[in-house]
Every structure is written in C-alpha cells, then in structure tokens.
Structure 1
Amino acid sequence: MIRAYIPKYKLVEQDGGRNYYVYALEISYAGKLSKIEKRYSAFHRLYKEVEKSYITGYFPPKRIRNTSHKVLELRRTGLEAWLQLVLKIQPIPNSLISFLEVSNYQHPVDTGSAELEPKEELSHQSLLVFPKDPYLSPDSQPECYSIERYCSVNTPLADTITKGVLVALYDSSFMVDVS
C-alpha cells in the first residue's frame, strides 16, 4: 500500500525573478519513506492523465489570484485530498506510480473477489467488556458480563491485566508511588 501526504509547500526563488511554489510530498511504500517536491503543473498533468480513465472529483483550480498563505494552504489541502482519493483507485494507475517516483511497485494480485481491500489478520485480541462490574452485586450482574462468552481465550495474562485496570480505575486506595 502506498501512502502519500503533502505536509507543506515552499517558495523556490530563481535568479531571473520568476519565483514559483513546490509542494513537498512524503511517500511511504514497503517500509521506506521518500520525500519529493512537485510543482502544481506536475499535479495538473497527472490530473489530466488520470481523468481520462477515472472520475476523481474536485481538483484545485489552476489559476489563483494571489499567493497569500491562506490561498496556498487551501490549494495544498485540495491537492492532498485529491491525491488521497486517487490512491484509493485499484489498481493504482501507472501514471500515479511514476508521479510518486515509487520504485519496485508490485500491483496486488487479483484473487477474483469483489473486495478492493486485502484482508488483514488482527495481531491482537480485542477487549469487548470487563469480566464483571465491581460496583454491582454478584446477584444483579447479568450473564452477558461473562468474559468467557465474548473471548475464546481466557489467559492468566489477560486476567492480570483486567484486574490491574479494574483496581487502578475503581479502587480508591490504589496509589502510585511517583518518588
């Protein structure tokens, strides 16, 4: 998965007096972070290329009346929103991969399913409820508060963590020594 952000823009001053702005992109792919700078005109060329095959929605206008911080920031946020939208297209257009200067990109293998996102396995077990509410009497607690009903694994470590959280949240005599 490619992630790209435009955190800032900056003014590039030339000797001839023709100054222009570039947008700094941060691209993350395969555990590597790269930073590149692109002018608005490069974004506009990419927009025209992608629009031939896909409807991508709003793109910031080419002409701006002034170069105040507010106007340039609106353009930056508009470009970033458009870029995020185009990155969701599957498969990612080759023109976008070239624009982002991503090397060794491999398109995901189509398994024939209708899903666009690959399934990712959770690496942790989610906590749904506390085993018991400490302020309710044991007779008044409904059966649905049983942790065994919601979790397939009841480990001593999970019990220890749950007890620690309950003591820290509800036991008024619990004090942490910060000295």
Structure 2
Amino acid sequence: MAIQVNVSSFRKVKDDDETYTAFTVDVWVSGIHHVIEKRYSEFEKLHQMLKKVAKTPEFPPKKVLKWNPKVLEQRRVGLDAYFQGLLDQETLPHALLLFLEADSANNTIEFMQAADQKTTHQPVIVLDTSIYLQNKTDDSLPNIITEGVLVGLYSPRSVDFTR
C-alpha cells in the first residue's frame, strides 16, 4: 500500500467555549486522496504510542505561544517532517494507519466474482499465435541467423568473419 501524507495547513476552530488549532492532513492511499483534521494533542498521543513500538523521528515540541501564526507554521512544518520520517520506515505501525484513517480494513476494494466480470473493451489487434510454430520453407532468401548459429556452434573449423 503506497501512502503519502502532507500536513498542508492549519486553522483556528471555535467549538462552543473551546478554541483550538486543527491541522489539515492530506492523505493519499494507493492514489486515493482524503483529508483529515487533527489537533496537536492527537498528534502527541500518536507519537507517544508509536515510540513504544517503533523508532520515531523528532516530534515538534509544544510551545507557549500556541496562537502565534509563526509558531503554528513552524509546528505544521515540523509535523509534516515527522510524517515524512515515519513513512520512510520499511513497515508502518497499525496505529499510524488508523490515525491517518488509511488502515487496510477501511480501504479494501471488493472485486466482483470472475464469472460476473465482462470485458469492457474491444480487441484492437488479433495475433495468430500458431504462425510462430510453423516453419516457412518457401522463402527465397536463406535464414542467415539460423545458419550463422549452426556454423558457430557446430563448425569444426574456425570461421573467418572478416571476409
């Protein structure tokens, strides 16, 4: 499964009495794109889980000035770099796939039964494969490749190719 992740942006979210920053994460799984939004605390929980089971890259630290746009941009860049480091690993932890909503259970494509499948295109070229099994003896020109191989392999004398 090919996965690409990009932490593309952030936005301030006001939910009742609470205000927080949500980071937008673009996820491509085998060419299929979806977008998720996560809070920094969710990234932090993921990091705590992953560092127990795998080697993790450096996680961007929490800073006091969390509403400063410059700090938020640095955090976004840090989170993006964190994911690139995670995706460089040979095997991806299941917790990461769940976090990205990219686990194989949710992205399984159900194929039709072979009997139900029908060809949706018309053949363009039809080749008669039996022509390759027939010997053509009516050629007026000698088969120089076959003769050259036979002479090269079975000739008792050396052949001078410079003539």
- Which range, TM-score by smaller chain? 0.5 to 0.7
Identical-residue share of aligned pairs (%): 34
- Which residue matches 1:88? 88
1:75 maps onto 2:100 in alignment: no
- Which residue matches 2:42? 42
Q: Which has the higher contact order (CA 8 A, sep 6+)?
A: 2
- Which residue matches 1:3? 4
1:57 and 1:64 map into 2 onto residues whose CA distance is 22
Shift of 1:55: 2.7
1:66 and 1:48 map into 2 onto residues whose CA distance is 20
Deviations 1:131-162 (A, max 9, x none): xxxxxxxxxxxxxxxxxxxxxxxxxxxxxxxx
1:28 and 1:57 map into 2 onto residues whose CA distance is 21
**What stretches of structure 1 of length at least 5 have no aligned partner?**
106-179
1:13 maps onto 2:14 in alignment: yes
Matches within 5 A, 1:154-169: none
Shift of 1:28: 0.5
Larger of the two Rg values belongs to structure: 2
Shift of 1:20: 0.1
Matches within 5 A, 1:30-179: 30-104=30-104
- Which residue matches 2:136? none
Shift of 1:66: 4.0
Judge conservation of contact 2:7–2:76 (CA < 8 Å) in 1: yes
Shift of 1:98: 0.2
2:3 and 2:57 map into 1 onto residues whose CA distance is 20
Shift of 1:103: 4.1
* SS of aligned partner of 1:52: helix
CA RMSD of aligned residues (A): 1.7
Taking structure 1 as the reference length, the TM-score comes to 0.55
The aligned amino acid for 1:101 is E
* SS of aligned partner of 2:22: strand
**What stretches of structure 2 of length at least 5 have no aligned partner?**
106-163
The aligned amino acid for 1:50 is L
* SS of aligned partner of 2:34: strand
1:46 and 1:63 map into 2 onto residues whose CA distance is 18
2:64 and 2:86 map into 1 onto residues whose CA distance is 23
Taking structure 2 as the reference length, the TM-score comes to 0.60
Deviations 1:43-79 (A, max 9, x none): 0011011111223231111343241110000000000
